[in-house]
Amino acid sequence: RITTLEGLIQGEELGPVQQAFVEEDAMQCGYCTPGQIMSVEGLLRARPQPSTEEIRQAVSGNLCRCGAYPHIVNAAVKAADMKAKG
């Protein structure tokens, strides 16, 4: 089974990772956003409460031209918390 970025939307609502990216301003130009979101989603499915280092490692293969990495890490932490709360 393959899940795409669009498959993370729950009805009319963004999924937790997508919502966290919006709230943490983790996207600027949008070039890397789909890859970053899918990397974070995959990480959280494997490790629901990853460390900051695990998050950095998970997104390291996606290059962000704008340098929004701190926001991306913050979004991943927030998404993990959102998923844990249900």
As to burial, measured by CB atoms within 10 angstroms (0-12 exposed, 13-18 middle, 19+ buried), residue 40 is buried
Give this prediction's pTM. Answer: 0.93
5-24 residue pLDDT tens: 999 998 999 999 999 999 99
- Give CA–CA dist 81/59, Å, rounded: 18
Of all residues in the chain, the percent with pLDDT exceeding 70 is: 100
- Give CA–CA dist 32/54, Å, rounded: 19
Instruction: For the chain of 86 residues, list the mean pLDDT of each consecutive stretch of 10.
Output: 92 96 94 96 98 97 93 98 94
